Amino acid sequence: VRKKPLKLDQLDYSVLQQCMHCGLCLPTCPTYDATKVERNSPRGRISLMRAIADGEMEVTKIFGEEMYYCLGCLACATACPAGVNYAELFEVARTDIENSGILANRKRNLIRWLTVKFIFVRPRILRLVGRMLYFYQAFGFQNLLRATKFTALLPRRFRELEAFTPLVRRHFSDALIKEIESPAQCRFRVGLLTGCVQDLIYSELNRDTADVLLAHDCEVFTPRLQNCCGSLHAHNGELELAREMARRNITALERSAGSLDELDAIISNAGGCGSHLKNYAHLLQDDPVFARRAVLWSAKLKDVHEWLTTIGIRCPESVPQTERVTYHESCHLCHGQKVTRPPRELLRAIPGLELVEMAESNWCCGSAGIYNLTQPEMSQQLLNRKLGHIYKTGATTVASANPGCSLQLEAGLRQAGSSIKVVHPVSLLASAFRRPTKQQLNISPQELSSESMFDVQGKHPNGVNFDIWLI
Amino acid sequence: MNELISLLGAGQVLTRQEDLIPYSFDATAALRQQPGCVVFPRTVEEVAGVLSVARAKHMPVVTRGSGTGLSGGSLPSLNCIVLCLVKMDRVLKLDDKNLTMLVEPGVITQKIAELADGAGLLYPPDPGSMKISTIGGNIAENSGGLRGLKYGVTRDYVMGLEVVMADSRVVWLGSQCVKDVAGYSMKDVFIGSEGTLGIITKALLKLVPKPQMKKTLLATFKRMDAAAATVSAIIADKIIPCTLEFLDKVTIRCVEEYTHIGLPLDAEALLLMETDGHPAAVDDEVRRMEQIARQNGADSVLVAQSAEESARLAIARRSAFSALARASPTTILEDATVPRSELAKMIQFIQEVGARHQLRIATFGHMGDGNLHPTFLTDERDAAEMERVEQAMQEVFDYAIKLGGTITGEHGVGIAKKKFLPRALGDHSLDLMRQLKRTLDPEGLLNPGKIFDL
């Protein structure tokens, strides 16, 4: 018997026992596929967790490293015939690993403290960091450093990471979306979650999402200051912080919308976040104040594609614009949330868009949260595999519904010198809504702009100064 | 260990606890044993070399593929070397003139099926784990699948084998010729030998032309014997369907609970039937099968009109195992098999045994070839219930033998069925097997303690 019980010890044993080690997860696991070694497979990892829960093994360094070698892509959960809750096992195991301090060292501790425990629990500081990064990029410092090869002086790891630095937008979501926006005719009332990193680097996607929701007669409530959903914390062994993030997000949306009861749905447009956001009910089940509200939250939480297909996607009547698009599935959208058809239906609804399926569309791209930072080698392998499949489709655009994937794919395509764009399906739909219809083409441009239903704030429908990004 | 490392390279030998625990089981419930080490040879020479080291050190060798076996066949023994062949996974040749494929043992069955399909051919054996099972494991266990009735089992598609024997000699058995009677058919000795006689390092597989068309029917029955009568009548009418799958009422309920596809909960039996071949023949057979099912008292018969509809009808059968696996903490999948004519009796008996021992037993399986899967829905932590499971299993196997059947149709004996084997074989056949084992593996190096004790 352990002096200090582990979370794995306290876990309902039937979750572990549910794995009947049939092996059907093996062919879907990217790490097993790469090494062919059982320890790098879901059933191998579960057997180690079970050995720990059975007291046959301690939380060792190798176990710790193994659990961080796992992408957490949850492809195994889709393949599993017995419905093993791998997501929970994964989070609990990483919590034990962090509590045991088995992987601790000064560099890792500092990075973890700075990111997981400091910046990503303070949205204002995150925005400040974003703002600083924006000025660094916008005023040419980044290009200067790159052009003068100053970056070549950086240690190799930093140099690689520098190439991945996303372009921060000039306006964040709160500058683009009012807290309450109403359509001419209101059929539904929905909350909109804008994310943390996405708020800084894909804020125009949040605007697009609001526009598309408005076009579907949804009144949109968007809290101005939102927290990270907490998936970063849950996936990195900080379940307590994850709970705190959940409580703050519930409270913030309640404040904007009056109460969760008022809402028909709570919308997430990021596959990874959505998967975690749907889990609030489980995460807060023992919280006396929040348990009931979390159940309500989870029941209403919908991925944006899922919600739009539920209420019926409206096809824009705009002039078709020919575009060959392939769809990359975010792991946590398809494996975590099991949302696979709605994004494709949405894409097919866009006039002129041709959807070409890529091989292995639901195979991880290697982004996996911060995996591309912690396991660059494996991440790069997966990225190359994904890019190969993308090229074969001949598509000019990859649709991706998760900011992590989009960043990873953009970085990979940029490195390869490819002109293929990465766009969220909802942004593609939003652009289609903004294109003039055939009738509008016959009337004057002035009339057209005054009629645009997306002109919410009296500026460019996107509210974003596009030329700024090109710096 | 140093010998193995110098032979294979450090990365191909696993010895740490965290690496060995994941190799201490296969897909069989409630069996665990940690091995001494795990090695990954990549050539036949390396396999022979590992056996030489094993002989010198008196370490038993347990051969393993993807570890999907359901009888504990690749369960490690104490301090053994697990010889894992998943890295010998090259497809060496696809010969569309002789309709054969030459493969290494670690090739995944699904890949063989896909490559054959791409060449307009069919590799018929389709065990449930084919997405990850290796062909070497399939041959060692002589795996079956859903198409047994019409197409047979793995044995029927193995034309030649390269085998490393316990003394490290390498032999090639069989040939590319359909007709070949030069000496004993020694390859057949190694097919289904569960890793106890030699190690398969290459296999020459037979392929057949891909049928042009396939059609699917689904029938439900209020009475078990009506379903059995339907199957008998179809066979008597000289139709050999490629699929004749069955679910009993416990399975139907579990499937409906899991999938909500609208199965009738008062049905006692469900039959999924498929026929393939020339379009004209297929259409004719489907019409007759539908008629026969109705004449024999089917409540409903659905005939798929498209590929999507076929897939929809097959959901019930395809999700049966998932549905059952979710229904309880421990799922024990058995494979008692009886002659087709005795199926109704056997199914009835399994239901009685379940009731008598207060156990949940769901039965589904391959009605066409008599291969049933009585599935025990239980919890390995409940010692009293596990004892009743053991007792019930004994009774089920005894009855299967009494009906002229067998204790295992496609999973193998391994460890799980070992104690039932003597009664199943009777006469001197077990002695003959022992004699063969002693001749081919005198030191008892290969997968000791599996199938029978020496």
Residues recorded for chain B: 454
Kindly determine whether residue A48 and residue B18, on different chains, have CB atoms separated by under 8 Å: yes
Q: Tokens representing B410?
A: 């496609």
What residues in A contact B129, CB-CB < 8 Å?
A: 22-24
The string over B114-146, giving b where at least 16 C-beta atoms fall within 10 Å of a residue's C-beta and e elsewhere, is ebbeeeebbbbbbbbbbbbbbbbbbbbbbbbbb
Ramachandran angles phi, psi of A243, nearest 5°: -65, -40
Structural element, H or E, at residue B175: none
Contacts of B401 (CB under 8 A, 6+ apart): B407, B423, B424
Closest CA to B231 of B215, B216, B222, B243: B243
Beta-bridged to residue A193, according to DSSP, are: A268
Q: Tokens representing B295?
A: 């004449």
| Residue A120: CB atoms within 10 Å | 22
Taking CA–CA distances from A43, the nearest residue in chain B reads: B22
Which comes out higher in pLDDT, residue A147 or B199? B199
Confidence of residue A207 (pLDDT cuts 50, 70, 90): very high
Closest CA to A103 of A142, A61, A145: A61
Say whether B9 sits in a helix, a strand or coil: coil
| Pick from B18, B66, B321: CB nearest A60 | B18
DSSP label of A113: I
In the block, residue with structure tokens 């008598």: B356
Q: At what angle do helices B383-402 and B343-356 cross, to 10 degrees?
A: 160
Q: Where are the beta strands (DSSP E) in B129-282?
A: 158-165, 170-174, 198-206, 208-209, 213-221, 243-248, 269-277
In this structure, which amino acid lies at residue B312? R
Chain B closest-CA separation from residue A283 CA (Å): 23
| Pick from A18, A66, A82: CB nearest B18 | A66
Q: At what angle do helices A239-257 and A291-300 cross, to 10 degrees?
A: 70
Whether A465 has a pLDDT exceeding 50, the answer reads no
Chain B closest-CA separation from residue A422 CA (Å): 32
In this structure, which amino acid lies at residue B371? N
Q: What mean pLDDT do residues A14-20 have?
A: 90
Lowest mean pLDDT among A189-203, A435-449, B148-162: A435-449
Q: Tokens representing B191?
A: 């097919």
Confidence of residue A1 (pLDDT cuts 50, 70, 90): low
Q: Which of B8, B13, B17 would you mutate first to test chain A, the one with the most A CBs within 10 A?
A: B17
| Pick from B21, B66, B379: CB nearest A48 | B21
Taking CA–CA distances from B38, the nearest residue in chain A reads: A37
| Pick from B19, B40, B67: CB nearest A23 | B67
Chain A closest-CA separation from residue B275 CA (Å): 27
* Residue A311 near residue A186, CB atoms below 8 Å: no
What residues in A contact B14, CB-CB < 8 Å?
A: 37, 39
- List of chain B residues with pLDDT < 50: none
- B2 to chain A, any CB pair closer than 8 A? The answer is no
Confidence of residue A463 (pLDDT cuts 50, 70, 90): very low
Kindly determine whether residue A22 and residue B129, on different chains, have CB atoms separated by under 8 Å: yes
In whole angstroms, how far apart are CA A401 and each of A220, A290, A316, A332, B67?
Answer: 20, 29, 20, 10, 36
Q: In what order do the strands lie in the sheet with B61-64?
A: B13-14, B37-39, B81-84, B61-64
Chain A closest-CA separation from residue B180 CA (Å): 37
Contacts of B90 (CB under 8 A, 6+ apart): B103, B104, B107
Say whether A471 sits in a helix, a strand or coil: coil
Q: How far apart are CA A95 and CA A88, in angstroms?
A: 11
| Residue A285: CB atoms within 10 Å | 11
Q: Tokens representing B454?
A: 């020496």
pLDDT value of position A459: 38
Contacts of A306 (CB under 8 A, 6+ apart): A337, A339, A342
pLDDT value of position A455: 39
Chain B closest-CA separation from residue A26 CA (Å): 7
* Residue A253 near residue A111, CB atoms below 8 Å: no
pLDDT value of position A155: 72
Ramachandran angles phi, psi of A170, nearest 5°: -65, -40
- A359 to chain B, any CB pair closer than 8 A? The answer is no
Kindly determine whether residue B68 and residue A62, on different chains, have CB atoms separated by under 8 Å: no
Chain B closest-CA separation from residue A25 CA (Å): 9
pLDDT value of position A352: 94
What residues in A contact B16, CB-CB < 8 Å?
A: 62
Beta-bridged to residue B302, according to DSSP, are: B218
| Pick from B67, B131, B329: CB nearest A27 | B131
What residues in B contact A359, CB-CB < 8 Å?
A: none
* Residue B108 near residue B137, CB atoms below 8 Å: no
Confidence of residue A432 (pLDDT cuts 50, 70, 90): very high
Kindly determine whether residue B68 and residue A23, on different chains, have CB atoms separated by under 8 Å: yes
Taking CA–CA distances from A83, the nearest residue in chain B reads: B326
Chain A closest-CA separation from residue B387 CA (Å): 19
What residues in B contact A58, CB-CB < 8 Å?
A: none
Q: Work out the mean pLDDT of chain A and round it to a whole number.
A: 90
DSSP string, A304-343: HHHHHHHH-PPPP-BPP--EEEEEEPPHIIIIIS---HHH
Confidence of residue A449 (pLDDT cuts 50, 70, 90): very low
The model's pLDDT over A69-109, given as tens digits with 9 standing for 90+, comes to: 999 999 999 999 999 999 999 999 999 999 999 999 998 89
The model's pLDDT over A35-53, given as tens digits with 9 standing for 90+, comes to: 999 999 999 999 999 999 9
Q: Which of B13, B16, B21 would you mutate first to test chain A, the one with the most A CBs within 10 A?
A: B21
Taking CA–CA distances from B39, the nearest residue in chain A reads: A37
* Residue A57 near residue A63, CB atoms below 8 Å: yes
Confidence of residue A29 (pLDDT cuts 50, 70, 90): very high
Ramachandran angles phi, psi of B84, nearest 5°: -95, 125
CA angle B235, B236, B239 (to 5 degrees): 45
Give this complex's ipTM: 0.94
Confidence of residue A383 (pLDDT cuts 50, 70, 90): very high
Classify the phi-psi angles of B171: left when phi > 0, otherwise alpha if psi is within -120 to 50, otherwise beta.
Answer: beta
Kindly determine whether residue B67 and residue A62, on different chains, have CB atoms separated by under 8 Å: no
* Residue A413 near residue A425, CB atoms below 8 Å: no
Structural element, H or E, at residue A382: helix A376-393
Q: Which of B13, B14, B15, B18 would you mutate first to test chain A, the one with the most A CBs within 10 A?
A: B18
Chain A segment 328-347 residues within 8 A of B by beta carbon are none
Q: Tokens representing A191?
A: 């909350």
Chain A closest-CA separation from residue B18 CA (Å): 7
* Residue B46 near residue B8, CB atoms below 8 Å: yes
The helices-and-strands tally (H runs, E runs) of chain B is 16, 18
Kindly determine whether residue B326 and residue A83, on different chains, have CB atoms separated by under 8 Å: yes
Distance of CA A246 to the CA centre of its chain: 16
Distance of CA A469 to the CA centre of its chain: 21
Chain A segment 83-122 residues within 8 A of B by beta carbon are 83
DSSP string, A30-49: HHHHHH--GGGSHHHHHHHH
Whether A306 has a pLDDT exceeding 50, the answer reads yes
What residues in B contact A18, CB-CB < 8 Å?
A: 326, 329
Q: How far apart are CA B360 and CA B308, in angstroms?
A: 33
Q: Tokens representing B57?
A: 């050190």
Say whether A164 sits in a helix, a strand or coil: helix
CA angle B199, A45, B333 (to 5 degrees): 60
Closest CA to A170 of A136, A143, A140, A134: A134
| Pick from A27, A62, A82: CB nearest B16 | A62
pLDDT value of position A147: 77
Structural element, H or E, at residue B289: helix B279-295
CA dihedral A130, A132, A137, A139 (to 10 degrees): 140
What residues in B contact A44, CB-CB < 8 Å?
A: 21-22
Confidence of residue A451 (pLDDT cuts 50, 70, 90): very low
pLDDT value of position A249: 97
* Residue A423 near residue A448, CB atoms below 8 Å: no
Residues recorded for chain A: 471
Kindly determine whether residue B19 and residue A37, on different chains, have CB atoms separated by under 8 Å: yes
Q: What mean pLDDT do residues A266-291 have?
A: 97
What residues in A contact B86, CB-CB < 8 Å?
A: 36
* Residue A389 near residue A376, CB atoms below 8 Å: no
